[in-house]
Amino acid sequence: MGKSDFLTPKAIANRIKSKGLQKLRWYCQMCQKQCRDENGFKCHCMSESHQRQLLLASENPDQFMDYFSDEFRTEFLELLSRRFGTKRVHNNIVYNEYISHREHIHMNATQWETLTDFTKWLGREGFCKVDETPKGWYIQYIDRDPETIRRQQELEKKKKQDLDDEEKTAKFIEEQVKRGMEAKAIETPVFTELSRESEEEKVTFNLNKGASTSGAAVAGSSLSNNALKSVTVAVKRKDTSQSQVKEKKKKCALDEIMEMEEQKKKTERTDNWLLPDIIVKIITRRLGEKYYKKKALIKEVINKYTAIVKLIDSGDKLKLDQTHLETVIPAPGKRVIVLNGGYKGNFGIMDSIDEKSFSATIVIDSGPLKGRKLDGIPYEDITKVP
């Protein structure tokens, strides 16, 4: 019986079967040939091409095994780093994803007999962190790329700085709470209504008794009037002193609120600082000495951490990561922009530079905060604008 036609159901079924994964025992790694059944694998082993490959392998078997082992290890670690990063994962999950690719290197062609042996070898060689659990072996990739290590150190440094800022804010709030509790503990004066022990008597004038009696009555009435005046003056003084204390308390509370707002603005920081139309400096040597320490203008920001820059001198355009750029600090009197913190996006004029603390003082020249003077702004939070 001849071969099936290209469009017959049998030919289509054969093509569908050949696309999927087949049994490992019917795969020849030397010839990279996959057979669908035992009869096909037996015929392949008797073929001339297979015999020729076996003769080549018999001359130097260690070379072929080392080659397959290196390819298997490289592809496995690449899948682990790309798919799972530095997360802890079961080794069987990674292996199942690796063998799902039809053209992968099979483990029976390498120096490792089982996946457990390969996992232990990865731990001994320092490629991964491995640990055994009742559910099996778990692996965690160790990324030794210098760029990745440097980025992780920067992230840890920023996290530590954020924690320090949060601790300072918490300490400030705790001090305010203690101050408020102490203020409540002080006894506040209690004011009561003015009460008299007896009702005021009526003043009478007896003309028959002479001037002495009337004079005494007038003197008594004048004394009572003076007493009432003194009491009224004392009450007024007490009211004015109380209003002054209230105004002072209001001013203190307002100052505290302003200080808290300023502290909050200082702690509002983000990992990304790139903005369009600002001047930066290239600090990476990977592009060669031609672009090292050259100033450029950011034309476009991509995904917050990548920018397309145009060199000011030559006009060349480059696509660089945020870690390969740094800010440019101009001379006093030049215009700058704030890139991070609570005042991000505000333009200002460079007032002075403190080289010891690597910070600068600027004066905002636009917007609702125009005229405000900002002290102690770090170099990495401001840059020159064209």
* Residue in this structure with the two tokens 């302003």, named with its chain if needed: 258
- pLDDT at residue 252 tops 80: no
Q: Quick one: pLDDT at residue 209?
A: 46
Alpha-carbon span 84 to 249, nearest angstrom: 58
Query: Could you tell me how far CA 273 lies from the centroid of its own chain?
Result: 12
Alpha-carbon span 41 to 58, nearest angstrom: 20
**Domain contains 178:** no
**Domain contains 212:** no
Alpha-carbon span 72 to 107, nearest angstrom: 7
- H or E element in which residue 67 lies: helix 61-84
- Phi, psi dihedrals of residue 145, rounded to the nearest 5°: -70, 125
Q: Read off the tokens for 23.
A: 């049994």
> How many CA atoms within 13 Å lie on the side-chain side of 97?
15
Q: Are residues 41 and 120 in the same domain?
A: yes
Beta bridge partners of 279: 297
Query: Could you tell me how far CA 204 lies from the centroid of its own chain?
Result: 89
Q: Are residues 137 and 149 in the same domain?
A: no
For the stretch 138-182, pLDDT in tens is 999 888 777 777 777 788 888 777 777 778 888 888 888 888 877
Q: Are residues 81 and 158 in the same domain?
A: no
**Single-letter amino acid, residue 197:** E
**Domain contains 88:** yes
- Helix count and strand count (H, E) for the chain: 8, 15
| Last-in-domain residue among 267, 299, 325 | 267
Q: How confident is the model at residue 349 (pLDDT cuts 50, 70, 90)?
A: very high
Query: Could you tell me how far CA 314 lies from the centroid of its own chain?
Result: 35
For the stretch 198-230, pLDDT in tens is 555 554 555 554 444 444 444 444 444 555 555
Count of domains observed in the chain: 3
Q: Are residues 162 and 67 in the same domain?
A: no
> Could you tell me the CATH number of the domain that includes residue 365?
2.30.30.30
Q: pTM to 2 decimals?
A: 0.35
48: containing domain: 21-141
